Amino acid sequence: MFSKILVANRGEIALRIIRACKEMGIGAVAVHSTADANAMHVRMADEAICIGPPPSADSYLSQSAVMSACIVTKSDAVHPGYGFLSENPSFAQMLEDHGVNFIGPSAEHVRRMGDKIEAKRVMQSLNIAGVPGSDGPVESSDDAQRIANDIGFPVIIKASGGGGGRGMRIATGRDQVEGAFTEARSEALAAFGNDEVYIEKYLDRPRHIEVQVIGDGKGNGIHLGERDCSLQRRHQKILEEAPGPAIDPTLRARIGIQCAEAVAKMGYAGAGTVEFLYADGAFYFIEMNTRLQVEHPVTEAVYGVDIVREQIRVAAGQGLSIQQDHLNTRGHAIEARINAETVPEFRPSPGQVTTFHAPGGPGVRMDTAVYTGYEIPPWYDSLVGKVIVHSEDRASALAKLSQALDELIIDGIEHNAPLFQKLCANKDIQDGNYHIHWLESWLNETSW
């Protein structure tokens, strides 16, 4: 087992990983920018080292700074969390070249799955079908027009190497294809340094379903069911739940086993998420995330598995501590992402938290690194914490989430907890009757 793990992240996810390290008797090293000198993950780690000024490019995204921190602290492994360097194949390769373990899949798997076109090819070879669309990158607007005509409108043009809703444009007819193609390429180049795009059929009201998998890198893989992440704004998830309200046990077992077999055949090592659009009883693969997900706690609650611990075990060569036959769902879990932002404008709201109180009680968990007096910096993502509830069924989980949100106190900044209170009281949400476009339509129709 590792003696010391450097956590190459910040905020609630860094604190989550540090807790897992301490429970396993492993030393935890925090890295931080000058803006995060007083952050909770810095306080809770066994060691901490500053890696640069506030801008992410000069600190958390600086491969050389993180690598230097590994050398200085003599860390033998790095856990990247999510975001930042977690899906950067050159970073994973750099660690490998310097004899430092990357707590995640191989650099090759990170690279192949990070390219959405290549990921579709790999999954198709493993009998997991994608959304109908181009076989590879689209080189010109004429090609885009031809492919769109073949698969039928509407279509969506997507950045090959991107994510987070950037580099995406929808065309509902022939007259929109050229403009959508040009805009998607331009935004992709600006956001990711890569203007390669591809085309898919645009599904009108699908759900976003993702399957949690873990492989041991030795030809074995398991799945931990699915999460429904359909409540999204601008392609960003805001609420996730497990199990998915639209997926029955037979479907769950079928798609889960299919994904587990795929990662086993790939020789994949570590945690990953296979993401689908689900419509009319069919699953369409869209991408695979080769890292820990923001929403992993709902799966942990339903299956009783510590996913971070399993990541560390696999990376250390100890394999999985769990077997598929021993895994069963237990109740229902929901996660609400609490962001420092105004509602309904959704503008970031950094500043000092003058009072903070986390909700509690049976089946309530809050992952956060915020405390009274903490200054939320303007440099990073607006996520300040996640309220996770677990109960015997979906209805009681929604009731518990509403109660937990009532208890949550974050004074001094604006935050989006009132949004979730409205959602908990909405009949469509209570009935599980929503899709990936539902939230934006509802927001446009709702008065605040």
Q: Say whether pLDDT at 372 is over 80.
A: yes
Q: Which one is catalytic: 291, 313, 337, 394?
A: 291
- For the chain, what is the radius of gyration of the CA atoms? 21
146 is catalytic: no
Q: What pLDDT is recorded for position 160?
A: 87
Instruction: Output the CA–CA distances (angstroms, integers) from residue 12 to 56, 127, 333, 412, in the order listed.
Output: 17, 37, 19, 19
Do 216 and 319 meet the contact criterion of CB atoms below 8 Å apart? Answer: yes
Q: What is the pTM of this model?
A: 0.91
Q: Say whether pLDDT at 164 is over 80.
A: no
Least confident of 82-96, 179-193, 212-226, 264-278: 179-193
Q: What pLDDT is recorded for position 251?
A: 96
pLDDT bin (cut points 50, 70, 90) of residue 352 is very high
Span 326-342, pLDDT tens digits: 999 999 999 999 999 99
Do 229 and 263 meet the contact criterion of CB atoms below 8 Å apart? Answer: no
Q: What pLDDT is recorded for position 165?
A: 75
Do 224 and 214 meet the contact criterion of CB atoms below 8 Å apart? Answer: yes
Mean pLDDT of 412-436: 97
Structure tokens at 314: 């696999």
Rounded to whole angstroms, how far apart are CA atoms 107 and 88?
8
Which percentage of the chain shows pLDDT scores above 70?
Answer: 100
Amino acid making up residue 35:
A
Q: What pLDDT is recorded for position 236?
A: 92
Q: What pLDDT is recorded for position 276?
A: 97
Amino acid making up residue 375:
E
- Element counts in the chain: helices (H) and strands (E): 15, 20
Span 129-151, pLDDT tens digits: 999 999 889 999 999 999 999 99
Q: What pLDDT is recorded for position 192?
A: 87
Q: What pLDDT is recorded for position 117?
A: 86
Q: What pLDDT is recorded for position 186?
A: 93
Q: What is the mean pLDDT of the chain?
A: 96
Q: Say whether pLDDT at 115 is over 80.
A: yes
Q: What does DSSP assign to residue 341?
A: B
Q: What element of type H or E holds 110?
A: helix 107-114
Cβ neighbours, 10 Å, residue 341: 20
